[in-house]
Amino acid sequence: MSIEISSIAEALDQAARRAKPLAQFSPHTPFSLDQAYEIQRASMQRRYDDGERRIGIKLGFTSRAKMQQMGVDSLIWGWLTDAMLEADGGEVALSRYIHPRAEPEVCFLVGRTIDRPLTLLEAADHIEAVAPAIEIIDSRYEAFKFSLEDVVADNCSSSGLVVGPWSRDLAGLDNAGVLMRLDGQLVQAGSTAAILGNPLRSLVEAAKLVSEAGLSLPAGSLIMAGAATAAEALRPGVHVSVDVAGFGETAFTCV
């Protein structure tokens, strides 16, 4: 590992731990997408060394429009750890974050180890259950501004997640209504169809990305499928809820 990759990984890790933003690296220290994933792995390894445990992955750019905007033809992904998992219906301390935002999503629970590319039909067979979820994203960069390579290095802004009740019935998941409310006021409305046309396609992409990296997702892993709507900024005292039609609700209160 080069000193540069190690130093950037350390800087990102420290920014997350201290909840202090830093400047983008790309304007003065450009690196490739492959190097960005190296930085991501090195930064996450620091967390594992301190006792955090991998619990799954999150996917980004699951909107075709977002892919085109960023000039990419595939999803990006980052890791989830047990320290990121917040209690459904509980309180989330915003002091842990820099400028957190909430995204409504669905979360899959892996039932069979994913260690190779999968078809859409095979993907469904590898899933134990699905749940409504909220991802808390938090860029470690100033003003939430970054390049593609910057955000990948930053673990794709992965910071927290809240997962609601599990359901084993996937019927209707391809186009379920999604509502996000802050203090009971509707702020975002959309559909799970915004996630690659069908959230199950995120599983196909996840299997492809993980296998290309020479890794696997064991049974019990979580897969955050991607945002169904735009994100909303969080502030202390606000109650956040997400309802996915036919699959239930998940919520938390910011403190």
Nearest residue to 41 via CA among 68, 79, 73: 79
Q: For the ranges 20-24, 87-91, 220-224, which has the lowest average pLDDT? A: 20-24
Q: Which helix (H) or strand (E) covers residue 64, if one does?
A: helix 64-70
Percentage of the chain lying above the pLDDT 70 cut: 95
72 has pLDDT over 80: no
Report how far residue 102's alpha carbon sits from residue 183's, in angstroms, rounded to the nearest whole number.
Answer: 13
The pTM for the full model equals 0.94
Phi and psi for 64 in degrees, rounded to 5?
Answer: -60, -40
Rounded to an integer, what distance in angstroms lies between the CA atom of residue 29 and that of residue 38? 15
The answer to whether 101 and 181 are in contact (CB under 8 A) is no
Q: How does pLDDT run across 99-146, given as a tens digit for each residue?
A: 999 999 999 999 999 999 999 999 999 999 999 999 999 999 998 888
Domains recognised in the chain with CATH numbers = 3-254 (3.90.850.10)
Closest among 63, 201, 59 to 124, alpha carbons compared: 201
Residue 178 identity:
V
